[in-house]
Amino acid sequence: MPHTIASNQGSITGLLSPTGSCEFLGIPFATAKRLENPVDISSWEDNFTATAYGPICPQTPGMLEMALNMDASHMKEECLNLNVYTPRTPTEGMSLPVLFWIHGGAYTNGAGSIAWYHGASLASRETVVVTINYRLGPLGFLGDGNYGTLDMLSALRWVQRNISVFGGNEKNVTIFGESAGGSAVVSLLASPEIDGLAHKAWAMSPSIGQLRNKARALDLQKQFLDLAGLKNLDDVKAMPIDDILATQQKQMTSATKAFDFYAPTAGGASLSNDILASAALSPIPLVVGTNKDENKLWSTFDPSLADADDARWKAFTDETFGERGQQARAAYQALRPGESARDLMSAVSTDTGFRQPAQRLCENRVGSNTPTWMYWFTWPTPAFGGTVGCCHALDIPFAFDNLDAEGVLMMTGDSNERSQIADRFSSEIVAFATHGHPSWGQFNTNDRPTLVIDTETRLVHDPEPEIRVLFV
């Protein structure tokens, strides 16, 4: 049933569920002209009806988005809207921790309205959950304008102005996200504008390697312009959106290994010249974690890897590790006995792209005023015959405790231990948002305490050191 509250922007009518929880959907937080900074929305004259999701950023849905049946029927450039979930009807005096979600999708796909990100279950643990849209692809990250990052900052400013009327505490905001959303969390720690907007951060499988410098961003901008037959960004402003998306696809399929075509740019708008160095110095408490088999989300379904053999495995490790090639093969084969060459190569790619960069970030944050924690999600899904293991994005429905959401059974199967894992994972996130620390000890370079999240969640000191030393 409808429920109306008075915000600082004006009255908003959301939905009150039979259980008493509320959701307010599709609330606009900013306007933005193409390739220009967002302009915060401060107020509106009439009541805003927030009972349906707003439009999402124009995009060509990726593999995961298609699998989750993301609603791509309502795409508009005017897509800067957010959703708020509360555990009950907001009342005066409520002051709950705020969880601010930044979705993934390689900075080219996704939306805050995907079913896996529905915030009601997480909100029921006495939090207020916010999920957002931001500009993607060329609209958000062409060149060094960092328009998508500026959108995130605009949404955080909206939270500061308005979240109290939803029962949230604007002085206790935790930013969290997965994949590109995780690296967006890291990049926001490198923004001078984050002070006072976010107080804690949780990065799930951050794709740190996507973050780029200004020179790379400008090279990719020139590449886009050349492919489109344009001279400058002013020409892009007049380009039909379908042509922008078509050029984006042409650019991204032109190289097989690069994945930084669109991403926050160091030295660009609102970000420091060295994102990782600045994030390492940020006093904002940070939790970082990765999944054991991240890359299997892609390698399992990559036909070019189907016939990978020992010779290819040897060549791959020699190319990756150089003189340490033999040492790497011995270490990976000992830890993963009986695995195929394809899966061993996938394990190396997981470590190269996700786990070891996360390790480096945590190592660089060790200090007196940079509290940091590390976890490792290792539960292997039985779905797809067990071939994808603990792949990229598998942890999302566990973090949100959304095991009944559309598409979850496809990815997780219906094993009995799912509920236990979801309860533990989401409880850790809420505890961190509430108190400023999870249940396990801070990361340090002596014993490297790491919470391993699985059927049996346990604290492990320096898991797989033989792999870690390969990347030193």
Spatial neighbors of 115 by CB under 8 A, at least 6 apart, are: 68, 69, 402, 405, 406, 407
Considering the domain boundaries, does residue 230 fall inside one? yes
- Structural domains counted in the chain: 1
Do strands 212-213 and 265-266 pair parallel, antiparallel, or not at all (unpaired)? parallel
| CB environment 413-448: b (16+ within 10 A), e (fewer) | eeeeebeebbebbbebbbebbbeeebebebbeeeeb
> CA angle 287-291-293, nearest 5°?
160
Could you read off the pLDDT tens digit of each residue along the chain, which spans 472 residues? Answer: 888 988 877 899 999 988 889 999 999 999 999 999 999 998 877 889 999 999 999 998 777 777 776 777 789 999 999 999 999 999 878 999 999 999 999 999 999 999 999 999 999 999 999 999 999 999 999 999 999 999 999 999 999 999 999 999 999 999 999 999 999 999 999 999 999 999 999 999 999 999 999 999 999 999 999 999 999 999 999 999 999 999 999 999 877 667 889 999 999 999 999 999 999 999 999 999 999 999 999 999 999 999 999 999 999 999 999 999 999 999 999 999 999 999 999 999 999 999 999 999 999 999 879 999 999 999 999 999 999 999 999 999 999 999 999 999 999 999 899 999 999 999 999 999 999 999 999 999 999 999 999 999 999 999 999 999 999 9
Whichever domain contains 126, its CATH number is 3.40.50.1820
Considering the domain boundaries, does residue 63 fall inside one? yes
Q: What's the confidence (pLDDT) of residue 257?
A: 65
Condensed to tens digits (0 to 9), the pLDDT of residues 86-98 reads: 999 998 789 999 9
Query: What are the structure tokens assigned to 300, written together?
Result: 């399992």
Condensed to tens digits (0 to 9), the pLDDT of residues 208-231 reads: 999 999 999 999 999 999 999 999
| Rounded distance between C-alpha atoms, residue 327 and residue 324, angstroms | 5
Q: What's the confidence (pLDDT) of residue 259?
A: 81
Q: What's the confidence (pLDDT) of residue 3?
A: 87
Largest distance between two CA atoms of the chain? 68
| Rounded distance between C-alpha atoms, residue 360 and residue 370, angstroms | 14
Q: What's the confidence (pLDDT) of residue 46?
A: 81
Q: What's the confidence (pLDDT) of residue 133?
A: 98
Residue 235: give the domain boundaries: 2-284
Q: What's the confidence (pLDDT) of residue 122?
A: 97
Considering the domain boundaries, does residue 69 fall inside one? yes
Considering the domain boundaries, does residue 398 fall inside one? no
Considering the domain boundaries, does residue 438 fall inside one? no
Considering the domain boundaries, does residue 276 fall inside one? yes
Considering the domain boundaries, does residue 417 fall inside one? no
Considering the domain boundaries, does residue 21 fall inside one? yes
Q: What's the confidence (pLDDT) of residue 148?
A: 98
Q: Name the residue among 130, 216, 227 with its Cα closest to residue 181.
A: 130
